[in-house]
């Protein structure tokens, strides 16, 4: 008999589909004192990899420069029976290439505002001057979808 954990685990295809929905990503890096630094970020993709952009002098970038380990959580659901989530554990690679930063910005903009990415390009390119990107090199995925239980606990 499968474990409850096995019953709610998403397939790779379900994880990919879930991550491509519009959600906010909680990003955890390790602060100088060893404590987690946790922030909510809109995210997009760079190629197939989840990615976000942020100011180059932000705390999360300072943390990643010191220690590239990162854990990200994307979740959804207002009731226990509807909870879904994906935890991505891996390495945060800081991206400084301008074209890649713009690509992350355009992906993020399109996903979260629904607008035409080309219409957003002038704004994104202007913002990219002071931003860097972070590509999440995923090493481990943990997922859950309580809807698979059909209301049974």
Per-residue DSSP letters for the chain? Answer: ---HHHHHPPPHHHHHHHHTSS--EEEEEE-TTS-EEEEEE--EEETTEEEEEEETTSHHHHHHHH--EEEEEEEE-SSGGG-EEEEEEEEEEEE--HHHHHHHHHHHHHHHH---HHHHHHHHHHHHTTEEEEEEEEEEEEEEEGGGGTT--
pLDDT attached to residue 20: 95
Q: Mean pLDDT over all residues of the chain?
A: 94
Going along the chain from its start, the domains and CATH numbers come out as 4-147 (2.30.110.10)
pLDDT tops 90 at residue 59? yes
Would you state the pLDDT for residue 153? 65
Query: Does residue 54 have a pLDDT over 90?
Result: yes
Confidence class for position 1, pLDDT limits 50, 70, 90:
low
Model confidence at 85: pLDDT above 90: yes
Give per-residue pLDDT as tens, 62-80. Answer: 999 999 999 999 999 999 9
Confidence category of residue 4, pLDDT binned at 50, 70, 90: confident
């Amino acid at each position: 008999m499968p474990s409850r954990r096995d019953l709610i685990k998403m397939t790779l295809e379900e994880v990919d589909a879930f991550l491509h929905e519009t959600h906010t990503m909680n990003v955890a890096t390790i602060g100088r004192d060893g404590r987690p630094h946790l922030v909510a970020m809109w995210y997009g993709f760079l190629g197939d990899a989840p990615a976000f952009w942020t100011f180059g002098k932000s705390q999360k970038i300072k943390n990643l420069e010191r220690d590239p380990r990162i854990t990200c959580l994307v979740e959804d659901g207002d009731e226990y029976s509807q909870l879904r989530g994906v935890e991505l554990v891996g390495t945060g690679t800081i991206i400084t290439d301008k074209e890649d930063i713009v690509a992350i910005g355009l992906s993020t903009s399109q996903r979260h505002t629904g607008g035409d990415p080309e219409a957003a390009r002038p704004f994104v390119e202007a913002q990219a001057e002071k931003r860097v990107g972070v590509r999440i090199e995923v090493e481990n995925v943990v997922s859950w979808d309580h809807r698979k239980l059909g209301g049974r606990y």
